[in-house]
Amino acid sequence: MRGDGVFIAVEVDDGAAGDAELARRLAEACPVDIFADRNGAVAIVEQNLDECVLCRLCLDAAAAHDPGGESPVRVIKRYDGDALLA
């Protein structure tokens, strides 16, 4: 799943989007409410995407959910040639 703002896009792997624990972690971590827990599934609140402050808290929450694995969450800087926030 992907949500696109003017400046920021967010992707969540489809296989992880239905994970209730990840949905809870992302919703709690994001200070600008880009993520929501919708009945145990990750939802992207598109009207909040361009409020992203590039804090990495969503990336940290996703990494804590699956230590050592590849992050199911990607933050894309559309204003920077679609560079990933690392």
Q: pLDDT of 38-58, one tens digit each?
A: 999 999 999 999 999 999 999
pLDDT of residue 70: 82
Please report the domains of the chain, with CATH numbers, ordered by start residue.
2-84 (3.30.70.20)
Which string of DSSP letters, residue by residue, matches 19-66? -HHHHHHHHHH-TT--EEEETTEEEE-GGGGGG-----HHHHHHHHHS
For the chain, residues with pLDDT lower than 50 are: none
